[in-house]
Amino acid sequence: MLESFRTPCSGQFHAMFARLGYVISKYWLWVILAWIVLLFVVGRLAPPWEQVTDDGDFAYLPAEMPSVIGQRLTREAFPQQRAKSEMAIVVARRDGPLDGDDLQIVDLLSQRFYNFLGAAELRRGEQYAADAEQRRAAGETDAAQALDEKAEATFTSARTAFDQALAINETFADALHNRAFVHRYLGRDDKFDEDRQAAAKLDPGLAGKAGLAPTAAGDLPLVDVWSRQTEVFGDKLRSRDKQAQLLVLKLGNEFMETDNVRVLERVEREVERVADQVRGEGKSHLAFGISGSAAVGGDMLRAAAESIKNTELLTTVLVLLILLIVYRAPLLAAIPLLTIVVSLSLSLDALALLTQVDTLPGMGWWDFKVFKTSKIFIVVILFGAGTDFCLFLIARYREELARGSLPSAAVATALDGVGSAIGASALTTILGLSMMFFAEFGKFRNSGPAIGFCLTITLLACLTLAPALLQALGTRLFWPFASEIRAANLEPRSPSRSTRIWQRLAVWIVAYPGRILICSVLLLLPLAGAGVYTDDHVTFDFLSELAPDRTSIQGTSLLKRHFPVGEGGPIVVLANKPDGELVDENFEVPAPALTGILELTVVLNEVPGIHSVRSLYEPLGNPPRRVSIVSSAGRRKVFLREHDLTKAVFLAQSPQHRGDVTRFEVVLQDDPFSQQAMQSFARLNERLQALSQDPASFWQGASFAYTGTTPGIHDLRQVTRIDNWRIRTLVVAAVFVVLLAILRSPVVCCYLIVSVLFSYLVTIGATELFFHWAYGETFQGLDWKVPIFLFVILVAIGEDYNIYLVTRVFEEQQQRGPFAGLRYAIVRTGGIITSCGLIMAGTFVSMTSGSLRGMIELGFALSLGIFLDTFIVRPILVPAFLALRYRLQAWVSLRR
């Protein structure tokens, strides 16, 4: 067992832990009560975890990234363009073109979603009106007037949406009922009564109904709906083979926003409702699908929630089974489990409470976020590390009892013996995770310190609550084997089989350190070489993370059969030319500006990987060409170009940017999430930057910003690549400082750092090869989150085990000499550190129980890395290096 932890800087800590052990053994009841009170108070104050957790990726990119600039410019120049993501409902016929009856099925969906759009606008208008009343009551007349105007405009938009629903089906009672409320807000009481009566006549159930129909109609974050009835763009929603029709839902949510889970489930219910009706009529020839960026985001968040649930359950079961196998005593196994559950519950509540600090007076600068997926890491790390901490403590406690100590003395002595080791072990992991605070990407910057904070609470629980529980139960903990503990003594006895294995390994390492070290490194070197390549070749393809049976995957597959796959997430290019005079005082487009827009449309179409470009010149995305205005095609093109909706979509509306900014929608040939899409976007960006420097171009001096899924992923790739190197450098530096403070040997510290870096490269290389074999042709690379989280966790936890070993080596060498001390330390720490490694690896295995590929890959990699550290790095590579170092020191001393 791991006994004491004596290093040059740890004496003062021993005194501290000795006093702590004495206090806990004497006041154990008060310690337990303190934890209960703390758990209750924080739990009562903290908001529910689900209410404060965020998600999404693009929302946490730095403000200077092009896609963030693009979103900001869109809000300023196109205030009516509020969509941040979309869902596309696909209705396709399997055996030929859609006929009139099939299109009526599509219209059933369209009318319902227009009704939902109107209800959502009505809710927003009511909020603006309420805010206006509050400002008016506060004496802010100008602000109230602005909000009144905003409310009126929003109510008008709501009425337009209800009108569109009724244009499809004039007997749609829900839309009539809801439109009545708009009339009341707009002061048309006669229309209010007329619509209410008509709705009640069509559906008697609506008579006297005070709210919207259906009740939850206004709960979807819809900002627009595009159907086949939509002017200008409706024709583009029909596939060229005439077999499929799109209904596009524009959403105000970012594509990975947590609310998209609810939105996707609601859309699924609506689509399934119509599909059931169709099947009931015997029309089995129609297929329905849901695609689009918001559908992908919703599916990913659902898969993440399933992964969290599975991980929590499997982790708890695995740890409980391991503890029962190790201790064979139910009460003793319950101590670590109870300690971890308390610390986990308190940690999550404390994190939820920390997200509310910015609401306190003077704390507006506070910006702390927690994310749904962070819970997976919190659970597995707390269960793994917390179990390890308790394992060391209980092992020493049993040893003290076996020596004949009373339980109170055994608790104090055990805490004195292992407190410093546990603290140092936790410190490397906490500091390593905390270094993520210096990342530019907001999710990294918040997640790392949050996990480190939770581990700090777990450390405190293991050093206070667990000893108090041990003291409270005494030898009853060991039921039904308490008599065995009491009868045990420290007289020499035959070593166990595992001890003999460690003894044999220790002899070999001390006898042949050079051969063992070289052979081990050479065997692992090919995997490390693969890791060097893999480390910077990862995928950001969100679709590849999802299982084939997910709604968005099936919908995307259906979309691909009939439409360009890029329609699911076009790139929006915002061309900003100061003083560009894109429109005159009558909001007409002058000839030079129109020629410039044609020029840019042509340039974008010529970029490899681009399927089509929608612009003011070609609103429908047809190949750009000049046509005679006297021809029917020319007259239609002029009509579309001058349509109010076309101008609203492609020309800046706000006074600040009017005449300076125009939009282009670029549809890619490839999936917007794919690597090919990233390459096409890079070529597009390079071409536009060159155009802005071309003196012969209308766009000389212009700047270009982008929005959409592909630009967001491109920026995510750029910022995380920089963050990876920054975080790794800081983690290595922080861990090295901790090692140096504990070991006071720069050479040994450097080697320990090199050993875990080598272990990381081997692990990620082996993981890449395994999943390439497992997934076959569908494998595009490891998920982008795997390298950074694997590096931080593996380096920090790997050094934990090195600290346990090396400090014991230094201690034993003071009594037994360099080589005998090394052999003895290998034997004495082998069993306990191996047990800790197995427990930690077991908790990481639970991450593979979910359905997200990224989490499965990370769980596999972390488990493999911990196994590698436990069975290769710590028992072979580190002792072999120490043996070689001592041989060199002995040879140098002899030469002198």
pLDDT at position 894 over 80: no
State the Rg of the chain over Cα: 33
* Whole-number percent of the chain with pLDDT over 90: 40
Condensed to tens digits (0 to 9), the pLDDT of residues 465-503 reads 999 998 888 777 777 655 444 444 444 445 566 778 888
Contact 878, 807 (CB under 8 A): no
Which phi and psi (to 5°) does residue 181 adopt? -65, -35
Give the pLDDT confidence score for residue 8 in this predicted structure: 45
Share of the chain above pLDDT 70, in %: 95
User: Which of 763, 771, 770, 769 has its CA nearest to residue 787?
Assistant: 763
Rounded Cα distance between 26 and 316, Å, is 31
pLDDT digits (tens, 9 = 90+) for 231-281: 888 888 999 899 999 999 999 888 778 889 999 999 999 999 999 988 888
Q: What angle, 0 to 180 degrees and rounded to 10, lies between the N-to-C axes of helices 818-845 and 853-868? A: 160
* pLDDT digits 0-9 by tens, 449-466: 999 999 999 999 999 999
Spatial distance between the Cα atoms of 541 and 552, rounded to a whole number of angstroms: 14
b/e per residue 263-288 (b: at least 16 CB within 10 A): bbeebbebbeebbeebeeeeeeebbb
Helices (H) and strands (E) in the chain, counts: 28, 12
8 Å CB contact between 553 and 299: yes
How far apart CA 443 and CA 453 sit, in angstroms, is 15
- Residue 784 and residue 717 in contact, taking contact as beta carbons nearer than 8 Å: yes
86: left (phi over 0), alpha (psi -120 to 50) or beta: beta
Report the alpha-carbon distance of residue 680 to residue 691 in Å, rounded: 17
pTM: predicted TM-score of the whole model, two decimal places: 0.83
Q: Tally Cβ neighbours within 10 Å of residue 334.
A: 18
Q: What is the pLDDT of residue 107?
A: 94
pLDDT per residue over 643-680, tens digit each?
888 888 899 988 888 889 999 999 999 888 888 899 99
Q: In whole angstroms, what is the distance from residue 769 CA to residue 273 CA?
A: 44
Strand 703-707, strand 661-668: pairing:
unpaired
Distance CA 168, CA 149 (A): 29
Which two tokens mark 567? 């329609």
CA 54 to chain centre: 9
Average pLDDT, the chain: 86
514-523, 642-651, 746-755: range with lowest mean pLDDT: 642-651
The three-class DSSP label of residue 565 is helix
Three-state secondary structure call for residue 246 = strand
**For residues 575-596, average pLDDT:** 87
In Å, how far are 524, 688, 834, 869 from 872, measured between CA atoms? Answer: 10, 52, 11, 6
How is residue 262 written in tokens? 């609810």
Sorting pLDDT into bands at 50, 70 and 90, what band is 889? confident
Residue 141 has pLDDT above 60, yes or no: yes
CB 288 within 8 A of CB 273: no
The answer to whether the beta carbons of residues 855 and 782 sit under 8 Å apart is no
Strands 610-614 and 244-251, how do they pair? Answer: unpaired
- Secondary structure of residue 211 in the 3-state scheme: coil
Show the tokens assigned to 830: 């082998």
Structure token pair of residue 404? 């004949």
What's the pLDDT at 5? 40
In the block, residue with structure tokens 């052979």: 519
Give me the half-sphere count of Cα atoms (radius 13 Å) on the Cβ side of residue 387: 32
Torsion sign over Cα 23, 25, 29, 35: positive
Q: Is the pLDDT of residue 437 over 60?
A: yes
How does DSSP assign 587-615, residue by residue? SPPPHHHHHHHHHHHHHHHTSTTEEEEE-
Element (H or E) spanning 622, and its range?
A: none
Closest listed residue to residue 673, CA positions, set 518, 568, 746: 568
pLDDT tens profile 609-635? 999 999 998 888 888 876 666 667 677
User: Which strand (E) or helix (H) includes residue 190?
Assistant: helix 189-202
Q: 385 vs 462, 783, 864, CA distance in Å?
A: 10, 25, 16
User: Which residues, 6+ apart, have CB-to-CB distance to 332 below 8 Å?
Assistant: 323, 394, 477, 478
DSSP state, residue 570: P
State mean pLDDT over 567-579: 88
DSSP assignment of 708-772? SHHHHHHHHHHHHHHHHHHHHHHHHHHHHHHHHHHH--HHHHHHHHHHHHHHHHHHHHHHHHHHH
- Quote the crossing angle between the two packed helices 374-402 and 330-354, to the nearest 10°: 140
- Residue 460 CA to residue 463 CA, distance in Å, equals 5
CA-closest candidate to residue 665, choices 700, 708, 635, 718:
708
Alpha helices by DSSP H, listed for 563-703, are 591-605, 632-641, 644-650, 675-692
| Amino acid sitting at position 298 | G
Q: Which pLDDT belongs to residue 408?
A: 77
11 falls in which pLDDT band (50, 70, 90)? low
Which residues are CB-contacts of 629 (< 8 A; sequence separation ≥ 6)? 635, 638
pLDDT digits 0-9 by tens, 75-130 = 899 887 778 888 999 999 988 999 999 999 999 999 999 999 999 999 999 999 99
By CB neighbour count within 10 A (0-12 exposed, 13-18 middle, 19+ buried), where does 865 fall? buried
| Res 758 pLDDT > 70 | yes
| For residue 603, pLDDT beyond 90 | yes
Q: List Cβ neighbours of 268 (8 Å cut-off, separation of 6 or more).
A: 290, 551
For residues 22 and 408, the answer to whether their CB atoms sit within 8 Å is: no
What whole-number distance in Å separates Cα of residue 667 and Cα of residue 605?
A: 10
* Half-sphere exposure for 32 (CA within 13 Å, toward CB): 15
The CA distance from 164 to 121, in Å, is 14
pLDDT tens figures, 346-370: 999 999 999 999 888 888 888 898 8
Which range has the top average pLDDT, 165-179, 196-210, 282-296, 353-367?
A: 165-179
